[in-house]
Structures are given as C-alpha cells and as structure tokens.
Amino acid sequence: MCIILVRVIRSVVRHPIHFQTMSTRQSSDIVKFKESLKAAKEIVILSGAGISAESGIPTFRGAGGYWRKYQASSLATPEAFRSSPSLVWEFYHYRREVAAQAQPNAGHIAIAKFEMKYGVEKKVTVITQNVDGLHERAGTKNLIELHGNLFKTRCTKCKEVLANTDIPICEALANRGAPDANIVGSDIPIKSLPHCKKENCSGLLRPHIIWFGESLEPAILEKAGEAMESCDVCLVVGTSSVVYPAAMFAPQAAQRGAIVAEFNIEPTPATPDFHYYFEGPCGKTLPVALSD
C-alpha cells in the first residue's frame, strides 16, 4: 500500500464525513454546477463501469457477472492464472474482442471534448477504473488507468509492459472465448499462449490488469492521489463508489472542500457525500453538464 493511500485513509478516520450535513447540500442545479466548473482551475473526472456499460461493455459485477459457468471475479486473480492460464486468456480474449468492437459513447466524447477545449487553461485529469481503452479512443489525453488496460500485456518473467491491439493476440485464441456455459475449462497448451518476444526472455504474457488480491501500482496511485488532493471540482461518473481505493477519492475531496458532482443512473452509497447528483445515462447528462 503506497503512502498516498495511507494518507487518505488516515484523513478519513480523522475527519469522518457527516452524511446528514452533506445530503442537505445536495443539488441537481446544472446552472450552479456549471458555474463551479467554469471557476475551477483543476478538475478531476473519476469514471467507472457505468459509462462503459452504455457502450455495451459488460460490468461483470453482481449476480449477472458470469462468463461461462465462472464468476468473472474468480478468473481475475493471480491464482486463477497460475492454475489455468489458458482459461484466463480465453476470458480476456473475449473481453478484448468485446471492447475492440465497442465505440466510445457520447459521455466519453463529451469528456474528451471538454479536456481538448479547456485543457490549456485548466488542469483536467481523467481517472478511470475501466480497462477498455474507450476514454483514450474518444480522445482523452491526461488519463490515469487505475486498473490497467485490456490492450496491454505484462511479461511474467521480465515484467515488460507493452501495448497490443492484435485480435486475436495469438493464433491459438482465434475463435475461442465464447461465453458458452456448456464449455468447461480450456485445452490450449501453455506454449501456444502469448509469450514475450524480447530476446532471451520468452516469458508467458498476462493481461496488464490489476487483479483481485493485487495492489495498484504505487506510481499510478500516487499520481491519482495528487490529482484528487488538489482538484477544485470532481465529477464522479458511472461508478458505484464501492471499489477501493477509488471509492475513497471523491468523498475525501468533498470533505476537504472540493465540489463533487455525481452522474449515475441511480443513487449509490456515496451519493449523500456529494454536493450535486445528476441522474440518468452518462451519455445524456455529461454532454449537457460539460457544454458551454
């Protein structure tokens, strides 16, 4: 756990959020929110699965979070990869195919256009929990990907991280990964899975994703923490605010005085913490909120 996360946790403990007080300040006044946005010097947009769901990306959370007969979260672990790397690669090949076919929606595009227009006079940072690459494809430049990226690989031997958009990433994964509940296991030999091409390495590649049981990269978390600590305004977009450490970011920003606005299809456990709440699909609410 890096220093910035420890600092955030300590601050939350020292200064517990007063839910009743914050809830009375909550508003859906878009005009007033735009005034705060216009006056802000540093803005953070914190996005989660909800914005990508509008582009057809499965969230893999909750009761419907299954791929074949497996709970998706059970495959997103180092233990699962050690036990059956071919099965895990089939799962991620499927996810890569879905993400590659998806298109950035109006919410992604509104964020990218806002950054393009105001990124010189304001510091605009997008922090995402998503791994699908849709923010980047929409045109966002100052992007922090907390949980990695489906289109990057990491060598289990030399640790090199490389971008890779090949579909399939290797011949053995062609026509594999279908979410058919009748398919059990995977028979792809390990030697046929993606391997490092660096000279004298040839290590097995894994998706560059932060799996359950793994810590976020300290440098990434530090960068995100710094942005959250200095922002004037924070937009919470399509995230349930229950996945840590990101779940602490916006409430902590609100506690220290930053203006926080939540954009979601329904209230979340953190909604009472924030100043503004705008209900509806991000693809409809964000273009309005981020336009002149």
80 annotated to bind ligand = no
> 175 burial class (0-12, 13-18, 19+ CB within 10 angstroms)?
exposed
Helix, strand or coil, per DSSP, at residue 218: helix
169 annotated to bind ligand = no
92 annotated to bind ligand = yes
50 annotated to bind ligand = yes
Closest CA to 257 of 228, 216, 277: 228
Closest CA to 135 of 267, 292, 286: 286
130 annotated to bind ligand = yes
79 annotated to bind ligand = no
62 annotated to bind ligand = yes
Helix, strand or coil, per DSSP, at residue 192: helix
266 annotated to bind ligand = yes
Q: How many helices (H) and strands (E) does the chain have?
A: 12, 11
2 annotated to bind ligand = no
Decide if 238 contacts 264 (C-beta within 8 A): yes
Residue 135 annotated in active site: no
What amino acid is encoded at 138 in this protein? A
| Annotated catalytic residue within 93, 108, 147, 275 | 147
**Binding region for NAD(+):** 48-67, 129-132, 238-240, 264-266, 282
Q: Which residues are annotated as a binding site for substrate?
A: 92, 95
**Bind-site residues:** 48-67, 92, 95, 129-132, 155, 158, 196, 201, 238-240, 264-266, 282
Catalytic machinery residues = 147
- Binding-site residue ranges for Zn(2+): 155, 158, 196, 201
